[in-house]
Structure formats: structure tokens, C-alpha cells
Chains A and B, each alone.
Chain A
């Protein structure tokens, strides 16, 4: 009943065509099935990628289409890789990357460990904890600017309530020292559930029998944790860390809505800087070289990630 339209289409297919389809070898079918996907990806990913690489050796500018485009060789790469400002955005990215990963792993693993004790209703609460990571980062990030308002923001009020400071005395996204932490807090709020879910899968993959054997050997709970739980869950943890690393290396939507890269350049992550070069200053050739550098880095990290995926899969 479910497939009646297809049935109808099948009966309408002329006999000759049907016989020809019937005669298709598996090899042909494989190609018919795979090629649309590959074709679309070639058109939307690989072709533009090659174009970017080509542009990265030129001084092309989109907003001046009539200018003669000249070949500049490796000059764009040399300029980017010796520019202290871009080096600074890399460090801003590193600060964001390192702290979000540390906090998310600590909180995420702890939560997973607690949930794995299987108290009543743990499924329900797990689903509730997962909500933030499924939502639109731009929309949520935008709303966090409201929570971060100096006098009226809920975040400032809560902090003031517990520390006794004046809620109007600090501005999380307006202060040079606080802004890098403002983005770390929101990202941690949003993505801790991701690390938690993967850690939970890791903890659940450890068979009970191993703990039972350890219990027979009178190993303490503390020892069991470090010699069984952590090593067995480690591949999963690696997976979570790598994926969050890649995602936050290219972070754009959440932070651009929260701080827009400011104040000054304190939260100008790499993607935000690249967006300015490419879509505000319109230095297309230069930003293409910038993009290629990011491509290669992400591609390298992605290959390690796939290796980690396969390792987890074998379990």
C-alpha cells in the first residue's frame, strides 16, 4: 500500500524499457545510484574549491570586475602567513578552542558518568539537557546578547546576586577582558550536551563483566575508574574532542551574533576575519588564499577524525 505510486509507475513503464532495466547489472545500478550525489558534490564543492585555489594566486577583486586580474604567485600566502593581525585571530581562535574543549569535556564527561548510574527518569532529563545543541546558534546567540546586557540582563543579575557586585558594573560582551569568556560560556552551554552524549555512548559500551571481574580482584572504585572507565571511554572522548575542535575552529554563526568580533579584535575568530576580508573588503584573491589555508587545516583534522570514527566503529 505504501508503495502504490511506484507500483503504478512500474506497470505503466513500457515492456521494452522494463526489460532493459531488468537487465541492468549491479555495477550499472551502483553507478546510477551514486553518480547524482557525486555530481552534485563535485558541482557545489570540488569545482568551487579548485576555483578558490586558482583565485588564491591572483589579485582578483569581486567589486572591481573591470580591473585586469594579474597572477601574483605565492604572494597572498606569504602576506597572510607573516601578518601578525591574522596570527592574533588564530590565537583568539585558540583561546576559544582550548577553553571550550576543556570545559565541555569536564562537564560533559561528569554528566555522562552521573547519567550512566541509571537513576529513575534519566532518559527524560537527558533529552532536556540536549535541547540547546539542536537550536539555531545564530538565533540563540543573538538572544544571549540580551542576557548579557549590563544592568537588565539575566546573566549579570545572577552573577551579581551571587558575588555581590553591581550588575551594571560589568559588560560581558563590551569588555575587552570578558568578551573572550562570554563566547566560551555560551558555546559551553550549547555544546556540552554533544560531548555528554558521546561520552555516554562510550560508558555504555563498557561491559558490566569487566567491572564484576575487577570487583572480584578487590580493585577500589577509584582504581576501577582510572584503569577501566577512562581508557575504555577514551576513543569516544577523542571523537568528541576532535569534532568540537573542527567545529569551533571554523566557528562563525554563534560568535558573530554574540559579539560581532568585538570589542576591538578580541573575539575576531578566523572565520569572522575571513568574512571581513572576503565580503566587506572584497579582497577576493587574498581571502581565497586565506580560505585555502583553513581548508587544508580542516581537511587534515577531518582525516584524523575519520580515523577516530573507524576506531569507535570497530567496538
Chain B
């Protein structure tokens, strides 16, 4: 029996715990199913009833990273015994590997555009957030609202003029164009979040530094930046996750050259019909980094989704 009146009884706590854990398990089923399907053979993946226990195979991953062609027995004979384990998997299915698929490229594009836009966004965002936090900027509230409202705009509506503009500037389907676009979209989040983090650093530290003969710039990078390091890191992860997950702009503005993984993964098809293990493998590789980031971010999630308004 606890003495605090506000503390729920032990039985109530247990019940609450069971309900929450139950929900968490149900909510994880689709995600676990994606991961499991990636290791299934095509037959297992479409078996009825759905199989939970199966022989794991890397076939999905092989199919994800390679282009294959259906081989006649004659071709197989000419190809000789498989040289590598992935050749062996392909030959078992009566196919030969003709080359790498485009998934690797698309994944690399996601990495380049994601990290490029995040880096640019952090440089611009930190500077602007510092100015908004410490200086009297004319029309500050209006500017901040304007910055936030850019985030709310429907991507498809924004995409119409961006499409025309990129075409005129030669930026369509280029990495630079996508980096600039994602930076612009993410700036609102980074400015608002970082302003919150910098607001929390006492002004006295900088004042002391200024009295010691530091210039404003020195005070900014020697006092404020190290203090805001955690905030900057978590803001960067938020920006990275957004750029990583973005689909609407990517599908409308990129095609052959700078296409990222989200528009590509749904287009993966096998030699006969939809190759679900390969899709699941592609999704698994793409989603796992975000799950890791989510765990790193867990203390700052709330700030991130409320633009820094809710602190705890």
C-alpha cells in the first residue's frame, strides 16, 4: 500500500501495463511482418494460411540487389556451377543474374540527398535560430510564423510551381535541386526547434564571454554552439528522417538520376508478378536506420513533433 494519494494502486498499474504492452505488440506486428517477409521464399510469402515458422532464405535480398533473367536449361549448363552463394540462389530458381539492380543507386541517392540537405539545413537553421533567440529582429513573430507556415503547405500544391521553376533552372532530377528543396522544407523545423534549444541556454554565459573580450561570433561558436550540441544533434536527426522518408516531391520531381528509395521500393517487381520478399527486403533495409534513430531520439521526440513548443 503506497502512501501517496495520487499514485495508482498496484493492480491498476498492472492492468495499465498489460493493455499498453498488448497495444505495442499489435502495433509491431506489421513491422515484424515486413522484416520476416524479407527472409521468406516467394512461395512462403504468399502461403495460405500465412506462415510464421519458415526456412529463412536470402533470396529476397538477392532479388532486391540484382537483375535476373529466366534461363533455359541450356543457358544454365553453359553458365557452369555457381561461383558465389548469390549465383547459387538465383540458379536454384532457374534464373541467372545479369547485373546489379538500381536499388543500390536509389539508396545512395537517399543518403546523399538526406545528409546533404540536413547539413545545409543545420548551418542555416542554427544561425537563424540564434539570431531569433538573442537579437531584436524586426517583425520577429511574423517571420517565425511565415517560416513555420512553409512547412504546413501541401507538397503537391507546392510541387506545381517548383516543377516549372526547376525545369527552367535545369534543376529537375538533380541531387542539388532535391537538396535545396528538402533544406527549404526542413528549415522551418530546424529554426523552431533550435530556437527552443538556444532559448534554454542562459544569456549570462555569453555576456560573460563578451565581457572577457570575445566578439559576438566567438561567443556564438565557443559558448553557444557547444552548449546547444545535443539540441543540434537531435534536430539534425529529425531533418534527416524527414528527408529520408519524403515521397511526394521525390516522385514528382525525380525520375532516372536523383530518385530516392521511397518512390523506388513500391516499383520493385519480380520476373513473374510482384516479388514481395524483395519489396520487404528493400523496405527492411530502408526502415531499420530510422528505427535506430528513433531510439536515439526518444528523449526529444515530443519537442520534434511540436516544433519545440512542448519541452518535456
Chain B binder among A74-82, A98-106, A169-177, A272-280: A272-280
A201 at the interface (CB under 8 A from B): yes
Which chain B residues (119-175) contact chain A, with CB distance < 8 Å?
124-125, 127-128, 130-132, 135-137, 143, 145-150, 152-165
A192 to B298: give the CA distance in the assembly, Å: 16
- Nearest A residue to B217 via CB reads A21
- Kindly identify, within residues 104 to 137 of chain A, every residue whose CB is under 8 Å from any CB belonging to chain B: 107, 111, 114-115, 117-123, 125-132, 134-137
Instruction: Check: A181 CB closer than 8 A to any chain B CB.
Output: no
Could you give, for residues 278-304 of chain B, a 1 whenever the CB lies within 8 Å of some chain A CB and a 0 otherwise? 011001001100110111001001100
The 7 closest A-B pairs by CB, nearest first: A48-B161, A250-B154, A291-B157, A138-B247, A44-B184, A119-B17, A33-B131
The answer to whether A129 and B23 touch across the interface, beta carbons within 8 angstroms, is yes
Looking at the assembled complex, report how far the CB atom of A41 sits from the nearest CB atom of chain B, in whole angstroms. Answer: 6
**Contact A115 B20, beta carbon cutoff 8 Å:** yes
Q: Chain B residues with Cβ under 8 A from A117's Cβ?
A: 8, 12-13, 16-17
Contact B180 A40 (CB under 8 A): yes
Number of A-B contacts (CB under 8 A): 317
Evaluate contact between A284 and B160: CB separation under 8 angstroms: yes
Closest Cβ–Cβ distance, residue A276 to chain B (whole Å): 10
B310 touches A201 (CB 8 A): yes
Residue of A nearest to B4 (CB): A208
A118 with B13: CB separation less than 8 A: yes
Subset of 12 A-B contacts with CB under 8 Å: A34-B131, A40-B187, A45-B158, A52-B157, A55-B160, A131-B291, A135-B290, A146-B37, A147-B33, A239-B309, A250-B155, A278-B156
> Given that A114-B16, A278-B156, A279-B252 are contacting pairs, would A44 and B130 also be in contact in the complex, using a CB cutoff of 8 Å?
no
Q: How far is the CA of A38 from the CA of B187 in the complex (A)?
A: 10
> Whose C-beta in chain A lies nearest to the C-beta of B26?
A189
* B4 proximity list for chain A (CB < 8 A): 208
> Chain B interface: which size bin?
35 or more
Return the contact of B132 from the options A34, A250, A288, A295 (Cβ within 8 A).
Answer: A34
Q: Distance (Å) between the CB of B50 and the closest chain A CB? A: 5
Q: Considering residues B183, B226, B266, which has the most beta carbons from chain A within 10 angstroms of its beta carbon?
A: B266
From B41-49, B64-72, B82-90, B93-101, the one touching the partner chain is: B41-49
Q: For the complex, what is the distance from the CA of A22 to the CA of B306, rounded to whole Å?
A: 37
Q: Does A96 contact B (CB under 8 A)?
A: no
Q: How close is A153's CB to chain B, nearest CB, in angstroms?
A: 8
Question: Is B6 on the interface with A (CB-CB < 8 A)?
Answer: yes
Tier of interface size on chain A: 35 or more
Residues of A within 8 A of B160 (CB): 48, 52, 55, 278, 284, 287-288, 291
In the complex, which of the residues B247, B266, B295 has the most CB atoms of chain A within 10 Å of its own CB atom?
B247
The complex places the Cα of A255 from the Cα of B249 at a distance, in Å, of: 15
B266 in complex: contacting residue of A51, A142, A189, CB < 8 Å = A142
Q: Is B115 an interface residue (CB 8 A)?
A: no
Among candidates B5, B19, B215, residue contacting A212 with C-beta atoms closer than 8 Å: B5
**Residues in B neighbouring A143, C-beta threshold 8 A:** 30, 34, 279-280, 283
- A118 to B, closest residue via Cβ: B13
CB-CB under 8 A from A178, the residues of chain B are: none
**Could you tell me the distance in whole angstroms from the C-beta of B164 to the nearest C-beta in chain A?**
7
Please name all residues of chain A whose beta carbon is closer than 8 Å to the beta carbon of B53 when the two chains form the complex: none
Tell me if A15 is interfacial: C-beta within 8 Å of chain B.
Answer: no
Please encode chain A, from 203 to 227, with 1 for each CB lying within 8 Å of some chain B CB and 0 for all others. 0110010011001000000000000
With a cutoff of 8 Å between Cβ atoms, the chain B residues found around residue A114 in the complex are 16-17, 19-20
- Give A31 Cβ to nearest chain B Cβ, in Å: 8
Tell me whether A197 and B5 are in contact (CB under 8 A).
Answer: no
Q: Per a CB cutoff under 8 Å, which of B157, B161, B290 touches A294?
A: B157
A122 → chain B closest CB, angstroms? 7
Which of A22, A138, A193 is most buried by chain B, counting CB atoms within 10 A of its CB?
A: A138
A198 to B48, CA, bound (A): 40
B128: nearest residue on chain A (CB-CB)? A37
- Determine the chain A residues whose CB is within 8 A of the CB of B263 once the complex forms: 138
B180 touches A44 (CB 8 A): yes
Residues of A contacting B293 in the complex (Cβ-Cβ under 8 angstroms) = 134
Q: Is the CB of A146 within 8 A of B279?
A: yes
- B25-58 vs A, CB cutoff 8 Å, 1 = contact: the mask equals 0011111011001000000001111100000000
**A34-B143, A45-B150, A120-B17 in contact; A136/B290 too (CB < 8 A)?**
yes
In this assembly, does B112 line the interface, its C-beta being within 8 Å of a C-beta of chain A? Answer: no
Q: Does B91 reach chain A (CB closer than 8 Å)?
A: no
Task: Write out the residue numbers on chain A whose beta carbons fall within 8 Å of the beta carbon of B109.
Answer: none
Interface centre among A21, A290, A306, A310 (most CB of B within 10 A): A306
